[in-house]
Every structure is written in C-alpha cells, then in structure tokens.
Structure 1
Amino acid sequence: MPSITVNGADIYYELRGTGPPVMFIAGASGDAGHFEHVAELLADEFTVLTYDRRGNSRSLRPDGWETTSVAEQTDDAAGLLSELGLAPATVYGNSYGAIFALDLMLRHPGVVRSAVLHEPPMISVLDDPAAAQTSVAAAIQEGMAQGGPPAAVDRFFRFVVGDATWDRLPTGLRDRMTSNGETLVGLELGTFESYRPDDSALAGVTAPGHVLVGENSPGSFHEIAVWLAERTGFEVVRTPGSHTPQFDRPDDLVRTIRPLLRGRT
C-alpha cells in the first residue's frame, strides 16, 4: 500500500499506466476508488494518479487534525505531484476536488499543465445559495439521526447519486466511504463551499481549463460553471450522467474527457 508524507500527512496513492501525468482529485469521502474504473481505462495513454485525501480512507487522520481548508487540501495535492515527480500534470477534480483543482491553478501554477473541473460546488456564487444547500443539509441531518456520521454519508450519497448507483458500488469502496463520516461531517461539509477567488485572480489564470456540467445535474451547477467560465475563459462542456459520472457513466466520462486531457477540445 504506497503512501508518502506530504504537508504533514501520510497520503495513500495509486499510480497506473505510462504517458503524460493526470491527477484525479475526489470530492466528498475523498477516496481514490472513486476513479478506479476511469483510471484503468485511461492508463493506456496516461500516467494516472489517484489518492485518498487526508483523513479519508487509507490516508489516516493526522494527530491533532481538527480543521481543514481549501488551501490545506490544495497544498497536499501540489506536494504529492512534486514528491512523485509528476509535475506539471493535468488535474481533474470532481465536486470538492474541482475546487481544489482550481485553487491549484491559482496558488501552485507550476504543478498544473491544464485542469478539468467537474461541478465545483462554489455555492457562494449562486443567486440563491441557501436553496442549493437545503436538500443536502436535510439528507445529512436525516442520516445523522438514523446512525451518526456513517449513516449520514450513506444518506448523502443516496441523495446525490441515487440508490441504484450507490448500491452498485463495490462493497469495499462503500465501506471506506462511509467510514469517512467523521471527516466529511465533522470537518469538510460547509468548509469548502464558500470558496470564491476574486475576479482578478481568475482572470490571471494562464493554464488552459474546462468546466464540466452533467446533463442530469441540477441547474445550480450550470450557474456556477457559467460564472466561472465568464471569469476564466474556460469552455463549458456537457458531460453524461449526473454529479458523479465516474460512478454512473464512467465509460462515457472517459470518452468525454480523454481529448480534454490530451489538450484538445
């Protein structure tokens, strides 16, 4: 089980394939297994790096770690790329991972060749941010009442991806994800959603990027994508599936992003 100490945390990672480096950053529950199938498909052309974000799954919670931030998560990703000799890399982020990928472009431009940002939940840029959070908050509260943080993760993902998709995930992956409830509920939820770089910083991004929105996703994600594209010049690309196409449409996702990872639209 490979791991490396980065930014004061032991980070579990997986490498597949050969070729130009591509890093995948997971969102809620932070497990490398989110992208296992996608990584295997892309390993024919790329060196694919996936990892468990700090305090999630096999990246054990550091002693005394009681808070986190976008900057800390981004520093972890940058350090991992540098320590493994993979910088600069193309970075794909889903959900929270898309926020971290964007912050990489702003704060660690030397490690990013290009970025693909799938539905960053930058709730603060919405016209009605409270409305976008109400349903998620209700699902989390229901899960907490039923069985604490593990049940909250279960209820959260059933709300986000649907019962059928959640139940189809490998048992080991689902078990790891639900075991990350203390990190998700206790440290992460509500911490990253307010991320909002100023317009001048976004206008200064020089690396190419794309903002992806699922064809079945709520309109709030399209609103965020348009807001971000207007400030960066990134192209908005429709993707198959919903908020987590790596779970419900992995083959279609790979067909969509492969040319973007190569640097072509």
Structure 2
Amino acid sequence: MSSIAVNGADIYYELRGTGPPVVFIAGATGDAGHFERVADLLADEFTVLTYDRRGNSRSLRPDGWETTSVAEQADDAAALLSELGLAPAAVFGNSYGAIFALDLLLRRPGVVRSAVLHEPPMISVVGDPAAAQAGVGAAIQEGMAEGGPPAAVDRFFRFAVGDAIWDRVPTDLRDRMTSNGETLVGVELGSFESYRPDDSALAGITTPAHVLVSEDSPGYFHEVAAWLAGRVGVEVLRTPGSHTPQFDQPDELVRTVRPLLRVGT
C-alpha cells in the first residue's frame, strides 16, 4: 500500500501476489477496493495491481484539476505500470475503466499484454443514447437534491447495481466511494461516455482483447459489447452478475477471467 507520483498526480496503489502482472482499473468512484476480493483470489498466480484513480479516495485531487479525459486516465495507468516495472501487463477494466483500457490498446499498446473490457459505457454507440442515459441522469439528480454529491453516488449505485448489492459493499469502501462524489459529479461524469474510436482503429488492434458483459446487466451494455466485439473481431464473453460483478459475483468473475489473464504469458 503505497503512493507514487505519475503523470502529474500522486496515485495510491496496492500490489498482491507474484507472477505475470495484471492491473484492474475501476469505473465510477475509482477505488482500488472495488477489486479487493478479486485481487486476493488471483494473487496465487499473478502480481495484481489495483489503484485509486486520480482524485478518488487515497489518490488526492491534484491542485487545479477541474477536468479530465479518457487519454489522461489511460496515461495514468500506463505511467503507473511503467514506473512500477510491470509493463506489459494484462489489463482488466470495468465500466469507465474498460474505456481507459481500450484507449491503452489503441494509444499505449506497449504497456498491455492483453485486455479484458467489461461493459464500457460507450453510450454513443447504442440505438437510443438518450434512453440509456435517462436512468443514470435521474438517479444523479435525485441524489444531488437529497444530499449533494455523496447522496448522488449512493443513488447512482443503487440504480446501477441494485439495493441488495450496494448494501453488501463493505462500509469502509462504501464510505470512500460516496466521498468521491465531488470527483464523479463535478469532474468525471460526462467526460468519457462519448468516447468512440473509429472502426479502422478498432480493427487495427493487434494485442489480444476480450469483450465481457454480465448476464444481469441492462440491455444497452449488451448492445455496446456486441458493437465493440464486432469491430475488434472477437466474440462477446459473459460472466454472472451485475454491472459490478466484482461486488456480487467475485468468485465467478475470477473463474471467468483467470484464463483470459494468462494470455500472452
């Protein structure tokens, strides 16, 4: 459990295990704790890196940092891997993290051995983007009205994964996640969803990539997965659980991704 200065930010990270390196990139609220159980399970075979994305939890918000981008987030991951001597690594990205992992494949392939892209919220590729975003927008607005950014995070996750899953998240992690509301609502939300590489760039990816979707996730994530897999030239893979299987189905997620993380070793 340490911090390191990379790409203009102090990034908190955790390392577990030994073996080929794997990095997990979290989505909204960006906390390494999203993958604590998954990392513990995989540490028997891999060196597992998890980290708090910039401006989230223990990676303190840099002075003057008011906006972000897919490229900035991907460059943080690339710099972290390089500085820690872990490149090239297998990369697993969930939600926003899958968008950043995809950008690594396109712009920083030298740090990536293989990638698992789990449910990137690339809303611009679905048939009805407004409908796909409506529920999230309403949840955020309700939370802001009730109690500002922390309540907005609470409402966001209750909408995204359901009350039962959210209520089972450990209290300390849930507290850190809700404390990241200022970053999610004030900086990140709306910065990544329009990301859409052109077809020729996606077809040109040569690093092994896998597109993963959860069985219980809303239909638009399945739509995005089909769109992306078709352009990368792979089949859509499925895993049990919700949009955050690391919370509700961590053991099943590990069974799904373990062989994928071995690719290229």
The TM tier, using the shorter chain, reads over 0.9
Partner of 1:52: 52
* TM-score between the two structures when normalised by the length of structure 1: 0.98
Deviations, residues 26-60 of structure 1 (Å, cap 9, x unaligned): 00000000000000000000000000000000000
1:263 matched to 2:243? The reply is no
After TM superposition, which residue ranges in structure 1, 4 or more long, deviate above 3 angstroms?
none
1:41 matched to 2:38? The reply is no
Partner of 1:168: 168
Partner of 2:179: 179
Amino acid at match of 1:152: A
1:113 matched to 2:129? The reply is no
Deviations, residues 169-221 of structure 1 (Å, cap 9, x unaligned): 11110000000000000011111000000111111100011111111111111
CA distance in 1, matches of 2:147, 2:231: 42
Partner of 2:200: 200
Amino acid at match of 1:189: L
CA distance in 2, matches of 1:205, 1:252: 28
Partner of 2:75: 75
Amino acid at match of 1:182: E
Amino acid at match of 1:153: V
Partner of 1:29: 29
Matched-pair identity in %: 84
Partner of 1:144: 144
What is the SS of the residue equivalent to 2:58? coil
1:129-140 to 2 correspondence within 5 Å? 129-140=129-140
What is the SS of the residue equivalent to 2:71? helix
Partner of 1:247: 247
The structural deviation recorded for 1:165 is: 1.2
Please give the root-mean-square deviation of Cα atoms over the aligned residues, in Å: 0.8
Unpaired segments of 5 or more residues in structure 1?
A: none
Deviations, residues 40-84 of structure 1 (Å, cap 9, x unaligned): 000000000000000000000000001000000000000000000
Partner of 1:64: 64
The structural deviation recorded for 1:234 is: 2.4
Q: Is the 8 A contact 1:20 1:45 kept in 2?
A: yes
1:68-107 to 2 correspondence within 5 Å? 68-107=68-107
Amino acid at match of 1:101: A
Amino acid at match of 1:77: A
